Amino acid sequence: MFFARCRAVAKCVLANQSFYRFSTVYFNSRHFVRKMYTYTERGGQDTQEYHGFFSGSNGYISPMHDIPLYADSPNKVFNMVVEIPRWTNAKMEINLASSLNPMKQDIKKGKLRYVNNVFPYHGYIWNYGALPQTWEDPQVVDADTRCKGDGDPIDVCEIGTMVAKRGEVKQVKILGVMALIDEGETDWKVLAIDVKDPLASKMNDIGDVDKHMPGLLKATHEWFKIYKVPTGKPENEFAFGGQAKDQAFAFKVIADCNQHWSKMMGNAQAPQNLSCSNTTLNNASTITTADAQKIVEQVPATGTPGTVSASVDEWHYVKQT
């Protein structure tokens, strides 16, 4: 396995092996490091056996529980776990039910899930992921949306210029938030930008998005409204008439969901289908690094990649109401 340390972005080929170079990043097609976190893939790509595990300086960790919400609390810089790079279709997610919460592909009706291309959008139109140490409590009715949470960490749309890598841990600046109502549940969509992006210094609140990226907020609203229609679902609804709320509102949402996570982690019994296993928090759900290693080794290190149907690349056309 070959690794290279680089200071500029590039794609290279050495000994017939492709690898990617990033500033302070080690990467090849199966394994890369950004800052203090490593993402290791096990099992075959595009199969139900695929798992992506995260590790820190002392061994394997949970991306949900062990990666801190804040990368730099005084300056309001947050960690974001990238699940789905821009323009891709595979519906990857931090799997809450599995020990150590590895990255896995969502399964629906026994099949791997791929989001449809709804014209003119191809796959996800941002780098999509989650804020660690947040949880939208399904037992709590939000005062603004009047709906309960969806039981997941807060989703993040990173709108910067670079296409991220699956499993990357980005440091982001929060700009605002939309409130999607997905099948009767609150599903917050935070809008953020990588702090290293060339536009980051100019983007300080939600109004700056329209100023520097005209059309993106409108496209984001439309994407979330119609993306499930090709599967037979109705258009999604929004709180606040679909308006994106500002940075201050987003900070409040994040703080509330961080409190929901903290309270959940302090409960004697974890919610159903949510593993609280971690290796750094020193609570009742903390496991040893040796036990974490055993969990990872239960998944085959390699596997035959699955076959992706050509239908994943098809266009779907939606007449909006």
More confident residue, 44 or 7: 44
Residue type, 314: E
Give the closest residue to 81 by CA, choosing from 185, 164, 24: 164
CA dihedral 66, 70, 72, 73 (to 10 degrees): -130
Sign (positive or negative) of CA dihedral 281, 92, 42, 108: positive
Phi, psi torsion values for 238, nearest 5 degrees: -135, 150
Domain spans of the chain, in order of start? 38-301
The residue count for the chain: 321
Q: Check: CATH 3.50.50.60 for 38-301? A: no
Give the closest residue to 169 by CA, choosing from 307, 75, 265, 64: 64
| The predicted structure's pLDDT at residue 30 | 52
Residue with tokens 């990467």, as numbered in its chain: 27
Average pLDDT of the chain, as a whole number = 91
14 has a pLDDT exceeding 80: no
Going from the C-alpha of 249 to that of each of 27, 132, 245, the distances in angstroms are 36, 19, 6
Residue type, 291: D
Distance CA(212)–CA(214), nearest Å, equals: 6
Q: Residue 272 forms beta bridges with which residues? A: none
Element (H, E) at 294: helix 289-297
Query: At 59, is the secondary structure helix, strand, or coil?
Result: strand
Distance CA(54)–CA(133), nearest Å, equals: 15
Q: 93 pLDDT band (50/70/90 cuts)?
A: very high
Cα end-to-end span (Å), the chain: 52
User: What percent of the chain stands above pLDDT 90?
Assistant: 86
pLDDT in tens, 262-278: 999 998 788 989 999 99
| The predicted structure's pLDDT at residue 17 | 27
DSSP strand pairing (155-158 vs 185-194) = parallel
| The predicted structure's pLDDT at residue 31 | 53
Q: Residues 41-52: what's their mean pLDDT? A: 98
Q: 6 pLDDT band (50/70/90 cuts)?
A: very low
Distance CA(267)–CA(262), nearest Å, equals: 9
Q: Residue 111 forms beta bridges with which residues? A: 108
| The predicted structure's pLDDT at residue 19 | 28
Concatenated DSSP letters of 87-122: T--B-EEE-TTSTT--EEE-EETTEE-B--EETT--
Q: Give the least confident one: 3-7, 110-114, 264-268.
A: 3-7
Helices (H), ranges, 124-246: 207-212, 216-226
Residue 320 DSSP code: -
Question: Which tokens hold the place of 253?
Answer: 């949402």
Q: Give the least confident one: 12-21, 28-37, 146-155, 195-204.
A: 12-21
Question: Which tokens hold the place of 62?
Answer: 């949970």
